[in-house]
Chain A
């Protein structure tokens, strides 16, 4: 499985990558904002994108819309501090497949990833 981790926090990217590695997922690339993620998704095929919401240059929600508007059907899971129900609905309408609110336990992330990829 090939995963793209998108977060402006390098620490959060490493936390997510560590969780993925713990779950046996080692093919992981990373992006620091939405625009970088859009470019990487256009250039390479991923099985899953973990997407933060609040980032400089392009927010995660806008990156999801851009990726979907290009016809890309990659699985996208939001991993964000935005916890309001309206945000969850907005993300799902934009094309996200699943949603995890920070803070999280690493085991939760792995369960959600498995559920997202199986859906």
Chain B
């Protein structure tokens, strides 16, 4: 995966936090990872298909997910519930949707977005294909830290 392809996703995170969360955000260095992520996090997964195939994963510690939900809906929830899972899923959906439009601007054919899936709990393991390489971007905000993980490739091998 071309590392430059992560840029539209990073821009989309900035846009999302500025518009819907009224919150500044800063990022750390992009790293390559084959690891499955932190099992104590809530992870929202969205598949991309069509001209590009891959997965976008938004991974948040529980406290960040609670703070984020509170910023969107009002009082900060005290535990992970359906609202928190739905909020994390919708955040991932908006990041992936915005980024895919930026990625597909020159291809003519829109990239298709799957419906988000959220993994929660304290005892799970996400197993990815062994040859999958993820671009992992850590972020810091006043709502807490989180990370965005992306893996995808264009079907024609281009872009």
Binding site for B on A (CB under 8 A): 8-12, 14-15, 54-56, 80-84, 86-87, 101-105
Secondary structure at the B interface, as helix, strand, loop or mixed, is: helix
Q: How far is the CB of A19 from chain B (nearest CB, A)?
A: 11
Of A11, A80, A87, A103, which one neighbours B86 at CB under 8 angstroms?
A: A11
CB-defined A-B contacts under 8 Å, sample of 20: A9-B90, A10-B86, A11-B69, A12-B90, A15-B72, A54-B93, A54-B113, A55-B115, A82-B97, A82-B110, A83-B101, A84-B105, A84-B110, A86-B109, A101-B98, A101-B101, A102-B20, A103-B15, A103-B20, A104-B20
Q: Which residues of A contact B73 (CB under 8 A)?
A: 11, 14-15
Binding site for A on B (CB under 8 A): 15-16, 19-20, 69, 72-73, 82-83, 86-87, 89-90, 93-94, 96-98, 100-101, 104-105, 108-110, 113, 115
- The 4 closest A-B CB pairs, nearest first, are A81-B97, A83-B101, A103-B19, A11-B86
Instruction: Known pairs A10-B82, A15-B20, A103-B16; list 16 more (Cβ under 8 Å).
Output: A9-B86, A9-B89, A9-B93, A10-B83, A11-B72, A11-B86, A15-B72, A54-B93, A56-B115, A82-B97, A82-B101, A84-B104, A86-B110, A101-B101, A102-B20, A103-B20
Considering only CB atoms, which chain A residue lies closest to B103 in the complex? A84
How many pairs of residues, A versus B, come closer than 8 Å at their CB atoms? Answer: 66
Quick check: A103 and B101 within 8 Å, CB to CB? Answer: no
Q: Among A11, A15, A102, find the residue whose CB has the most chain B CB atoms closer than 10 A.
A: A11
Considering only CB atoms, which chain A residue lies closest to B69 in the complex? A11
Q: How far is the CB of A9 from chain B (nearest CB, A)?
A: 4
Quick check: B115 and A81 within 8 Å, CB to CB? Answer: no
Q: Which residues of B contact A54 (CB under 8 A)?
A: 93, 113, 115
Q: Which residues of A contact B72 (CB under 8 A)?
A: 11, 15
Q: Which residues of B contact A83 (CB under 8 A)?
A: 97-98, 100-101
